[in-house]
Structure 1
Amino acid sequence: MRVTGSAALRPVTAWLYICAAVVFAIVVIGGITRLTRSGLSIVEWKPVSGVVPPIGETEWQAEFEKYKATPEYRLVNHTMTLPEFKNIFWWEFIHRIFARLVGVIFLLPFLWFLVRKRIDRPLALRLGVIFALGGFQGVLGWYMVKSGLVNDPHVSHLRLTSHLMTAVLIYALMLMTAWSLETRPRVQGSRAFAWANVILVFVMMASGALVAGLKAGKMYNTFPLMNGQYFPQGALGFSPVLSNFSDNPIMVQFLHRNFAYGLGVFFFWQLWRERKNVSLNHPLAWIVMAYLLQFLLGVFTLLKAVPVSLGALHQANALILFTATLFLLARRPHAA
């Protein structure tokens, strides 16, 4: 039987917040790993023994020799030195360590809360689903890496998108579960709009993942037009036509830009619509501010052809914007 009352559940809530914060860090580190082209530096998946990095020059050289056998080294990084390899190795290693860390941070307290009967069955099942998703995410990460250990040394953009969005889903479930255990005043407003905000930002993040996976941000580095055109040539150049929407970097960038425009219109319209609703306009204002920052980061990231710093900030703030939409949904908007 679960200990009732929000005060009694504070340890559970705090634990979920910590887990969500670690997942946030994993997403940002994963973005840096991708931007620095570090994701294919570790060519083996060792869930247990992989927690220990190479020690000494002999082990480092052995690890480097494994990387030298990959297509990425032969086709892209054939002039790379051991010190340069260490730089990309550490980003991927840290990313994997944080992924293992969140598994431990989640599982051990979860078992303790179960044994001490601090959570009831419905909550335990929900937490079990989150843990299972975490395990699936680990497998999905390796599945993504394997797609780049081939003659074309680039990870599948579809697998990369799946990997990122599964992490975002886990993050959302952790936060929403934590907020559901707290007592917060409900706000007056449309629950349908709150859900729409969450879903649309989720879709926008998936669109951004496709842009990243296809390296579409490295082309058409102009704004507001795409090299002087609104709808650029080549956007429908793939066959069949539907493949343009997932595989054509020109179309994917076009869609991401225009999705951002539409999302901004939707957010500002809501803010204007609820301008007299004191309980709702503050959460909406946070969403709009996060959106404006995200828009500016996106523009500067594009104009600078995706430097690591701006690319990482753009990905991190996307998660902040998503968090703002989740928080509004967690306030359980209801009609007057």
Structure 2
Amino acid sequence: MLLGLVLALTAAGPASAAPNTDDEGASKTLRAQLSAANKGHIEAKAKLANSKKRQLELSLQLKKVEGDLAAITAEVAVLAAQSYRVGRLTPINLMLNSASPNEFLQKAAGLELLAQRDGTAMRRLAEAREEVARTKAAIDNEVREQTKQVAIMASKKKELEKALGIGTAGGFVTANSPLAKPAPRNSDGSWPSEKCIVDDPTTSGCITARTLHAYNEARAAGFKRYTSCKRSGGGGEHPLGRACDFSSATSTFKNSDATGGDRTYGNNLAAFLVKNADRLGVLYVIWYKQIWSPSSGWRAYSGSGSAAARHTNHVHLSMV
């Protein structure tokens, strides 16, 4: 089994200190696999959504240009029919059928006007046909892009499941979880790159703007118990300012499994974070020996030795 989760909580330390879960109960290799697989899945999902949006826009555009093409084709058909009925005026028959120089000039002007009209119609017809062809090619390209991103998502899911090496789990779901306000995204739907430059309200360190947004949204939803985000030691997202640990207890991280109301609090918080994962930019959530990721949903995640390593005393949130 790849999931060798070994970490012990320090026996002595202040009750309000953050849980000593520098490795989140996992090996460095597993943490790297979790991060890479989930980031790859999230990026592919954003590209897929953007491609579908673009395909819809192109489909609407195609409908319009095909309508324009039909109208121009009908116009050219009318001009062709007129030419067939009355015959084409040429400079020779203009001279032969002109009674005076003035009449010749008038007919010549009319001939020029007809030529301009017919030439414009044919150019518009050619342009409309080219636009239809370009739009259809663009739609085909978006379909290929979507196929590519779906394959990437499936691949990342397999990578994550292989890394975890454990079957699916029941997970934590609450139908009445409130919706969070969406965090800012790039115009193509991807998440902007952020640095640890925002003051962390839970420590003296820094976090990213997206992490702060998730923290504030959780508090706005009623999850206001003790929380610690930035941690300088260890690996994972904490040192990067992209993770927070939400205690299931009111004002401390207890070195014991949450029960009763504390466990319900953790269940509801985990469900809130998962429901709003796309809105907030959630990379993964760990709670009560289970881990949620956007590519594989809830799966078993067993730590050893302490409540902190097993994540039975706090909800861990990692952000993109």
| TM-score, length-scaled by structure 1 | 0.29
Which has a greater percent of strand?
A: 2
Q: Which entry has the higher C-alpha Rg, 1 or 2? A: 2
The structure, 1 or 2, with the larger RCO (C-alpha pairs under 8 Å, 6+ apart) is 2
Which has a greater percent of helix?
A: 1
